[in-house]
Amino acid sequence: MSRSLMMATSITTILLAYTPTQAQACGLGAHAGHTSSMHTSSSAHAGHDMHQNSEADFTNISLCAGYSHMSMKGLRRGHDKLSLQDAANLGYDMVPTEMTMDMVMFGVGVKPYEWLDLSLSSHFMRSQMFMIHDPLTTPHVSQHRTGGLGDTVVGGKIKAYESGHNTIHASLGLSLPTGSIDEGGVHGNPAIHSPYRMQLGTGTYDLLPSVDFNSSLGALSYGAGLGGRIHLGENDNGYSWGDSVNANIHGSYPLKNWLSVSAGATIDHSGKINGRDTAVTHDMPSGNPDYYGGTVVTTSAGFHIMMPGENDDAHALSFSVGVPVYQDYNGIQMDKDMSFSIGWNTQF
């Protein structure tokens, strides 16, 4: 059960952080990352051992998939909420009012040794933004969509330390730029690129290091993690996302031998976008590369269900809800709302 719970929790934490262009499905040691109202720098740790592994939990291959939804509504400038009227008074021709993001993730994990996990994962995402045009003269509402394959992550995790109930895992992932950074169609013109947060990938190779500590006290399992995302160079459109760092705490408690509940909190911090894509629309706040990054604190709660399968296979389902309790952004960004996620994994 412990390995399945680890895998399902990986999906859950990643989905809660909801970083569409950097997501890993069931990553075994990789990270998701990006903070900006869209690409939350939340590098949720992929691989929280909510229960400790044992030889009996050893498996060779794991498959997983997940779905998440996140919505954003309204604006913030720094920590404070910003009205649409105030944003319009700043001279923007378009003011975003609402945005939704949906993501389907999938991945495979391989465990060649008891102390080593390897993973490969990617995702499909769909973003939809509603905005008001000409808010001070002839206001009217329009919507803009992007969607497709996101970035792909390969990762590895090793058991660096184990003593009694305490374990430490070290992970390193590499995000491959398989997601498009040329999504366009603003004003009906494909040559005008969508805002950075609506692109499907970062366009850069990114290192995803992390370290996780896990322990238990009776039936209670708990742990903490620290990770980050380092963008290697500049992409073909002349920019790179700001590097990010995150820290988290998490815990899990079994109510039945097939049901457990979990809770946690994550703090994420990331920098502004470096450089600029000259084709990105500058008619709205999200077209400004300085208006990305910041600090977000998110709390989460959920449950995990184990389902026995045939031939000693096991299936696991997880559901989780995340709520931001603190948001402080660089410049003007959309206000993050509640998110939810559903995850499935199996091992054989």
Tell me the per-residue pLDDT of 22-81, one tens digit each, with 9 for 90 and over. 333 343 333 333 433 334 333 333 333 333 333 445 558 999 999 999 999 999 999 999
| Per-residue pLDDT, 279 | 95
User: Which residue's entry shows tokens 């001279």?
Assistant: 91
What is the model's pTM?
0.83
Beta bridge partners of 260: 254, 304
Q: How confident is the model at residue 312 (pLDDT cuts 50, 70, 90)?
A: low
Place of tokens 């097939």: 258
What DSSP letter does each residue of 227-244 carry, written as one string?
EEEEEES--TTSEEPPPE
Tokens representing residue 192 in the block = 């005008």
- Residue 271 sits at φ, ψ, to 5 deg, of -90, 175
Q: What percent of the chain has pLDDT over 90?
A: 67
Looking at residue 135, its pLDDT comes to 81
Show the tokens assigned to 310: 């045939």
Residue 333 has pLDDT above 80, yes or no: yes
Give the total number of structural domains in the chain.
Answer: 1
pLDDT-derived band at 313 (thresholds 50, 70, 90) equals: low
3-class DSSP state for residue 13?
helix
> Cα 240 from chain centroid?
18
Write down the pLDDT at residue 139: 83
Between 119 and 32, whose confidence is greater? 119
Q: Span 144-165, mean pLDDT?
A: 96
Residue 298, both tokens: 């998110």
264 pLDDT tier (thresholds 50, 70, 90): very high
User: How does pLDDT run across 199-245, given as a tens digit for each residue?
Assistant: 999 999 999 999 999 999 999 999 999 999 999 999 999 999 999 99
The alpha carbon dihedral of 191, 193, 194, 200 has a sign of positive
The SS3 call for residue 217 is: strand
**What band does 4 get if pLDDT is binned at 50, 70 and 90?**
very low
The Cα–Cα gap between 222 and 321 comes to: 18
- 37-46, 49-58, 83-92, 119-128: which range is least confident on average? 37-46
- Four-point Cα dihedral 115, 157, 309, 166, nearest 10: 60
* Domain at 198, CATH number: 2.40.160.40
* Burial environment of residue 80 by CB neighbours within 10 A (0 to 12, 13 to 18, 19 or more): exposed
**Closest by alpha carbon to 145, among 129, 166, 123?**
129
**3-state SS class at 37:** coil
Ranked by mean pLDDT, which of 9-13, 54-58, 113-117 comes out on top? 113-117
Taking residues 8-30, report their average pLDDT: 35
Q: What percent of the chain has pLDDT over 70?
A: 82
Look at residue 281 in the predicted model and tell me its pLDDT. Answer: 86
pLDDT of residue 34: 41
CB 150 within 8 A of CB 129: no
Give the pLDDT band of residue 171 (cuts 50, 70, 90).
Answer: very high
282 pLDDT more than 90:
no
The encoded tokens of residue 94 equal 């378009």
Reading the block at residue 142, the tokens are 């329009």
The confidence band for 304, taking pLDDT boundaries of 50, 70 and 90, is very high
Select from 291, 339, 226 the least CA-distant residue to 87.
291
Collapsing DSSP states into helix, strand and coil, what is residue 20?
Answer: helix
**Domain assignment of residue 264, given as a range:** 2-347
Residue 24's φ and ψ, nearest 5 degrees, are: -120, 135
Query: Rounded CA gap, 93 and 29, in Å?
Result: 43
How far, in whole angstroms, is CA 202 from its chain's centroid? 13
Helical H segments across 174-227, by residue range: none
